[in-house]
Amino acid sequence: MWVVQVYGVPMVQVTITNKPVRELRAEGYVFFVSPDGGHHDPTSAEVALSRAVIPADVQVPTDIGALLKKTGWRAGSGTVGEVMGLRDGKPVYLFYVGLAAASVDKADRIEFYRCGIAKIVRLCERLKITQLALDLPDPVLLGVDECDCGKETVATIIMASYQFNQFITDPARHLPQEYELTLSVSEPLHEALQVGVEYGQRIGHAVNQARQWCDLPADTLTPVEFGKCIQSVVHGHDGLTCQLFNRKEIEALGMEGLAGVAKGSQHEPRFVVIEYASPHPNAPRIGLVGKGVTFDSGGLSIKPSACMDEMKDDMAGAAAVAATMQAIAHLKPHVNVVACMAIAENLPSGTAMKPGDILRHYNGVTSEVKNTDAEGRLIIADALAYIVDKYKLNALVDLATLTGACSHALGPFFAGIMTKNHGLQEQLLRAGRTSGDWLWPLPFHDNYKPAVASDVADVCNIGKSQYRAGAITAGFFLEHFVGDVPWAHLDIAGVSFNVPDKAYFRPGATGFGVRLLIELLMRWHHENGNTIEKRG
Ligand code: BES
Ligand code: MN
Ligand code: ZN
């Protein structure tokens, strides 16, 4: 049996300097080129591509611009130009990352930058170099400030260097996990950049922690093990407290959804609550809920075998929520946060929950189980009912790999958001666009509500077929458990693993939601003030 290993943190050592890169010693030099040019712009093509920015002891071909052009590289194309030079007979690399034009939408410009940064990491892996000097671009070109430039640069390098390699025994297949970065910027910007760099370290590590939990096989990360992992998040943080409930306690709380889903498995379910107390008095309180199905076979309504392996990632919501708590313990936002994670394994067996069963949830609402594969809503229901009962919340957000329907509707780049609270929706959409965890709203209209009516219980766990819209009807099931708290449901089924084309991911988990939630929580008091009033 394998045991869960502590996630091996990719170490990114960052030095900030006001020396120009030409005076720095590194194995690779990174320049950013704006396609807009511009005369007073220090990253304009002419400057970035000139000999003047390269260390004097590095021999390079004379006309770098012409050389790059020959390879087909263009500044706005999203590719990274690569030129090899020599220092003392050893290779030194010059990398040219094109930025997006200023006319491009701000959120797309920063995403373009992230992908450029990630492609540098991929090149470093191939060239076996780990020491980089970056001539950071003017943040204005990215549509961000100095702090966010540092944050995005570092978080993205850490995300890009993540590799799930603990089961790969050949050391030659292990990619570098330690990078040395030197960031060159002018003096007055150092402080803001430093803050951003630290912020970026926390974000990157939290995203990777969530990914590692997802990538672990279900037989390693059982509900009990996952519960322990989440518990360990609070260690050493005064601001965090943790409560963990076992099967007996879950049953005693009246959570038949969570207990029911777990019935077919040898492994006990877990319900974990982490609280973060803001150092600021009277801060509002945000609730987070995560789906933690460590393996979803479908239960007696068993899934087809193709791609069933992917269902080890069915705990991505809980992983994102737990990793977010880990990050905010350091980042200390001006909001209180309470996070509930409902954790179970969904398997068929002689003791498994059966189609036709009726469950009574924490708030007394009963649900008819027509399909044991619609298990996520059954456990999230109990978590939502619990959190709104125990805490006075200003807002509540749940994250769940809930439906294949959402994955089909939106594909791998946008998670579905369902809410009736306009303000909360706007805030989440904005946090999504700036953080890189993009959201797209689905119509959460009451017309869909009757889809989950039941003849024998208060609500049915699958929608009636005429209503189709499986992501939305799942949302309406959950609505029975949130009372009148401002609530948003995020269906992350399509975005949590195997996302193509984004250079900072690899096949496997993405940690979707961590960047989003950190951004939401860190910005909350800027956008809402320190109010304990309920939002409209
Ligand atoms: N975990 C799945 C949803 C899922 C599917 C996540 C694909 C990621 C990729 C969920 O528990 C599930 O099985 N949902 C069913 C619901 C249906 C039975 C109403 C689905 O989407 O098919
Ligand atoms: Mn399922
Ligand atoms: Zn599931």
- Residue to mutate, 367, 373, 379, ligand 1, most ligand atoms under 8 Å from C-beta: 373
Beta-carbon contacts of 286 under 8 Å, excluding residues fewer than 6 positions away, are: 335, 336, 337, 338, 393, 394, 395, 396, 397, 520, 521, 524
Instruction: Examine the pLDDT at 398 and tell me if it is beyond 90.
Output: yes
At 1, is the pLDDT very low, low, confident or very high (cuts 50, 70, 90)? very low
Phi and psi based region of residue 270 (left: phi greater than 0; alpha: psi -120 to 50; beta: remaining) = beta
Q: C-alpha distances in angstroms, 394 versus 1, 342, 479?
A: 44, 21, 16
Predicted structure pTM score? 0.96
Tokens 């509002």: give the residue. 284
- 328 three-class SS: helix
Q: Which residues line ligand 1 (CB under 6 A)?
A: 296, 314, 371, 373-376, 401-405, 407, 462, 470, 493
Atom 17 in ligand 1: residue holding the nearest Cα:
374
Helix or strand run (H / E) with residue 339: strand 336-346
- The number of the ligand nearest the C-alpha atom of 467 reads 1
DSSP 44: B
Q: C-alpha distances in angstroms, 2 versus 167, 226, 231, 297?
A: 9, 14, 19, 21
- The number of the ligand nearest the C-alpha atom of 403 reads 1
Weakest-pLDDT range from 82-91, 97-106, 412-421, 525-534: 525-534
CA of 381 to the centre of ligand 1 (A): 16
- The number of the ligand nearest the C-alpha atom of 369 reads 1
pLDDT at 535: 42
- The number of the ligand nearest the C-alpha atom of 460 reads 1
Average pLDDT over residues 127-154: 96
DSSP H helical segments within 143-255, as ranges?
146-160, 190-215, 223-233, 247-252
Residue 298 CA, closest ligand 1 atom number:
13
CA of 139 to the centre of ligand 3 (A): 41
CA of 498 to the centre of ligand 1 (A): 16
- Counted residue by residue, the chain has a size of 536
Residue 463 CA, closest ligand 1 atom number:
19
Residue 403 CA, closest ligand 1 atom number:
21
- 317 three-class SS: helix
Per domain, the residue ranges of the chain are 2-211, 218-354+373-451+467-528
pLDDT at 8: 62
Residue 375 CA, closest ligand 1 atom number:
11
pLDDT at 165: 95
Higher pLDDT, 47 or 310: 310
Residue 314 CA, closest ligand 1 atom number:
1
Q: Do domains 2-211 and 218-354+373-451+467-528 have the same CATH topology?
A: no
CA of 325 to the centre of ligand 2 (A): 26
The mean of the pLDDT values for the chain is: 94
Q: Residue 148: how many CB atoms within 10 A of its CB? A: 21
At 416, is the pLDDT very low, low, confident or very high (cuts 50, 70, 90)? very high
Residues with catalytic roles: 303, 377
Atom 3 in ligand 1: residue holding the nearest Cα:
403
Q: What dotted CATH number matches 218-354+373-451+467-528?
A: 3.40.630.10
CA of 495 to the centre of ligand 1 (A): 13
At 34, is the pLDDT very low, low, confident or very high (cuts 50, 70, 90)? confident
CA of 48 to the centre of ligand 2 (A): 52
Atom 7 in ligand 1: residue holding the nearest Cα:
404
Residue 301 CA, closest ligand 1 atom number:
18
Weakest-pLDDT range from 146-160, 251-265, 521-535: 521-535
The pLDDT tens digits for 477-508 are 999 999 999 999 999 999 999 999 999 999 99
Asked if residue 530 lies in contact with residue 283, where contact means CB atoms within 8 angstroms, the answer is yes
- Residue to mutate, 307, 314, 403, ligand 1, most ligand atoms under 8 Å from C-beta: 403
At 39, is the pLDDT very low, low, confident or very high (cuts 50, 70, 90)? very low
Which is nearest to 209 in space by CA: 229, 188, 239?
Answer: 229
CATH architecture of 2-211: 3-Layer(aba) Sandwich (3.40)
Atom 5 in ligand 1: residue holding the nearest Cα:
404
Higher pLDDT, 8 or 392: 392
CA of 47 to the centre of ligand 2 (A): 55
At 6, is the pLDDT very low, low, confident or very high (cuts 50, 70, 90)? low
Average pLDDT over residues 366-392: 99
